[in-house]
């Protein structure tokens, strides 16, 4: 069975909701086995994220989806520390030809989310991963890709309620990305 892992950092819970949506799409609609890993600030030691067991689990995944909030127009600190911790995978090419994808959430419709998605994609490409973006256009009646990001999923935090929330179209965009990643990873594995 195709294994899809979602690795994410969430500051206020909105990005966690997107991570859960991506995982749900990978499992429910993509037929994958899924795992989710939350990055926490306490895992950062001397500026680098550390958790050997998680890295080993990611080594066994067919696909890895990265997600974080956009903070001040860029990748959040725990995600950047995690990315720096993948250096040994860069040298060994351990993640080469795995499927990679990404998502980000911030408070505003733009919030410079593209910069975050570019950073996630560049890290994945340096690791030799095959990057998968969104295929939906904004020309639909379900709100899919409503913010017009094609490199990955861009979500907007819906503030004002007692609990973190995402706009429905953004959540569904995450589910669709998860299913797409699982399908592409499965097709690549079958062709190997």
CA distance 72 to 3: 33
Instruction: Give 21-33 pLDDT, tens digit per residue.
Output: 999 999 999 999 9
The CATH number of residue 91's host domain is 3.40.50.360
Instruction: Give 136-180 pLDDT, tens digit per residue.
Output: 999 988 999 999 999 999 999 988 778 899 999 999 999 999 999
Number of domains in the chain: 1
pTM, two decimal places: 0.96
What is the span of the domain harbouring residue 125? Answer: 3-191
CA distance 90 to 133: 21
Mean pLDDT, rounded, for 5-21: 97
The share of the chain scoring above pLDDT 70, in percent, equals 99
Concatenating the DSSP letter of every residue in 103-122 gives EEEESSS-TTHHHHHHHHHH
């Amino acid at each position: 069975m195709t294994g899809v892992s979602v690795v994410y950092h969430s500051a206020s819970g909105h990005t966690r909701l997107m991570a859960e949506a991506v995982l749900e799409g990978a499992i429910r609609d993509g037929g994958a086995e899924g795992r989710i890993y939350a990055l926490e600030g306490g895992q950062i030691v001397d500026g680098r994220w550390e958790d050997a067991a998680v890295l080993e689990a990611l080594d066994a995944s067919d696909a890895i989806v990265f997600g974080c909030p956009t903070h001040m127009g860029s990748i959040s600190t725990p995600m950047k520390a995690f990315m720096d911790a993948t250096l040994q995978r860069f040298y060994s090419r351990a993640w080469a030809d795995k499927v990679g994808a990404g998502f980000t959430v911030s408070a505003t419709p733009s919030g410079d989310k593209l910069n975050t998605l570019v950073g996630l994609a560049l890290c994945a490409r340096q690791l030799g991963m095959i990057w998968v973006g969104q295929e939906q256009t904004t020309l639909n009646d379900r709100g899919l890709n409503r913010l017009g990001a094609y490199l990955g999923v861009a979500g907007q935090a819906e503030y004002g309620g007692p609990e973190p929330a995402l706009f429905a179209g953004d959540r569904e965009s995450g589910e669709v990305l998860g299913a797409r990643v699982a399908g592409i990873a499965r097709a690549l594995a079958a062709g190997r």
